[in-house]
Amino acid sequence: MQSAIALPFSQTSLTRSNRVLGSTGSIFSTPRSLQFCGLRREAFCSSPSNHLTLRSDRVRIRSTRFQVSAAATTNGAPPKSFDYDLIIIGAGVGGHGAALHAVEKGLKTAIIEGDVVGGTCVNRGCVPSKALLAVSGRMRELQNEHHMKSFGLQVSAAGYDRQGVADHANNLATKIRNNLTNSMKALGVDILTGFGSVLGPQKVKYGKDNIITAKNIIIATGSVPFVPKGIEVDGKTVITSDHALKLESVPDWIAIVGSGYIGLEFSDVYTALGSEVTFIEALDQLMPGFDPEISKLAQRVLINPRKIDYHTGVFASKITPAKDGKPVMIELIDAKTKEHKDTLEVDAALIATGRAPFTNGLGLENVNVVTQRGFIPVDERMRVIDGNGKLVPNLYCIGDANGKLMLAHAASAQGISVVEQVTGRDHVLNHLSIPAACFTHPEISMVGLTEPQAREKGEKEGFKVSVAKTSFKANTKALAENEGEGIAKMIYRPDNGEILGVHIFGLHAADLIHEASNAIALGTRIQDIKLAVHAHPTLSEVLDELFKAAKVEGHATTKTVSEKVAGDAKIKLNMNEDDPRGPSDNEKQPSLSKDLIVRSTSMSSFVEDIYARVMFLVSRVFV
């Protein structure tokens, strides 16, 4: 969960925009160069004194500098000189992403790790779980006799070696962990071993008595499995995801407490390997975090046909591990009335009730920071907020520890955003543009708002909400794979074409979602993206049809490439026409059609590019 990085110190001076707290204690920051990441510009342009400069797809705000008052002047004075430009506590995916970006920006960086590089994701989360899911996907396909016969294939009974499957997951985690470690070492990052904590302003302690300083500090300590009260975990028959990924056994009957991402993925693995599964869900429906329409379809495909039953609206008030020949005992009570409802006897129980931030022992009291349910409070720029509601200078927190969005890639994006800030370019990350995926078979992916969330937002802000849908059954590539089960759904504003959310259930949904997430991040409107071309036949056409199915009142807001090229050609012609001297003898030529001019302009650029490449190769040969 923790780790360390370092580079040769850069002599380049880095300016940072200063900030100030208002008289009411609120922060009114208008950075000198604010890069918007998928957020509407008007949301940040309340001050008439701000001047917008539009360049390409970026919007920057120039304003006067402002200052941040110290959060805790009584916690010791910051050092005058520093060992590092940046220290990161925690070498998970978030810390690693921040470290690499810091190196790219020329910062001398250290990363502190008290366990192993890679954190939860690489060692006990997304990476090994995807190895197990790769196995379950193949097993599921081989076991589906009807599916194989539809291809004209005959396959004998499929089997598996449990230890071989476990080794595959472990080997993948080891490989990725080594890759992360080597990438940081190769770039000159100092990886410091030991538990890290904040000793005071711009000061960190790691190991027993090692103290180092830095201009800026990032906390990236991640999270651990959350285990509710009354549940006794023995690591054998009552387990968390940490234990399950080792696949030390495949029980005949396993209860999974929680039907979110973790529970769903493990149900896919266990049922493919022959287990019967019982879901225990506190809310009234399975998969409560997903769009309701997607949840219903996913339940019909992922739950009902498989060896899975479920109890909803109940708590597992007490779970006792198997011992002395007795099975695992699970006491169920009504989630509302708290009355006893049932007692289950199963071979094993997996606790998949979410994750809790790992923030104990970080020395937060030394900078007057009080956690909220274990999470470190931060603002939209990941700057840590102290117990008095003021910013702690030069201290940031990213990833699961701040609770904004508990996803590995979100942690990495937050880390990169912080590095942008400390190197003088303020940056606000739009969390609604960050996609999420559940790697079941088929997969589920989403970005932005669900339909109920979007409609609630529309009612509050006074705009209409529309929904467009497409089916995988109409996609040639999906049908070629005999995987036509699935839909794509987009929630949007029909008045201006803003994409509010996209949800996909189907083959490779986790890969398809990024076109939608990038559109939200870049502020691309439907009337523009529906003009994009997708290769045929590909699964990407599911998104193509989805965008085209939307009914937007406005037309395209940006010029197409062909319009730009034609415009450039027209400008070239007008230059000669407007010249009072008229065209020179060299310029006199028959009039050309616009299409021919466009082709000529494109071919000219192409030839020039080829010529430049050839001359470069020739120069290398003779040198």
Q: What angle do CA 46, 424, 22 make, to 5 degrees?
A: 40
Around 72, how many Cα atoms within 13 Å sit in the side-chain half-sphere?
23
With 70 as the cut, is the pLDDT of residue 563 above it? no
Which one of 101, 427, 514, 536 is the catalytic residue?
A: 536
The pLDDT value given to residue 545? 97
What's the chain's length in residues? 623
Helix (H) or strand (E) holding 550: none
Around 569, how many Cα atoms within 13 Å sit in the side-chain half-sphere?
21
Spatial distance between the Cα atoms of 93 and 115, rounded to a whole number of angstroms:
14
pLDDT tens-digit series, residues 333-386: 999 999 999 999 999 999 999 999 999 999 999 999 999 999 999 999 999 999
Q: What is the average pLDDT score of the chain?
A: 83
Tokens 């790691």, located at residue: 206
How far, in Å, are 265, 276, 440 from residue 136 at the CA level? Answer: 10, 14, 9
The pLDDT value given to residue 6? 36
The pLDDT value given to residue 8? 36
With 60 as the cut, is the pLDDT of residue 411 above it? yes
The crossing angle, in degrees rounded to 10, of helices 594-622 and 561-578 is 100
Spatial distance between the Cα atoms of 93 and 507, rounded to a whole number of angstroms:
26
DSSP assignment, residue 12?
S
- Beta carbons within 10 angstroms of residue 456's beta carbon: 13
Please compute the mean of the pLDDT values over residues 595-599 and round it to a whole number.
37
More confident residue, 56 or 457: 457
- Beta carbons within 10 angstroms of residue 432's beta carbon: 18
Question: 3-state SS of 449-487?
Answer: CCHHHHHHHHHHHCCCCEEEEEEHHHCHHHHHCCCCCCE
DSSP-derived pairing of the beta strands 328-334 and 314-320 = antiparallel
Confidence of residue 508 (pLDDT cuts 50, 70, 90): very high
The pLDDT value given to residue 529? 96
Strands (DSSP E) along 439-592, which ranges?
443-448, 466-471, 487-492, 499-506
DSSP assignment, residue 118?
B
Q: Is 229 exposed, middle or buried (0-12, 13-18, 19+ CB in 10 A)?
A: exposed
- Beta carbons within 10 angstroms of residue 162's beta carbon: 12
Catalytic annotation on 536?
Answer: yes
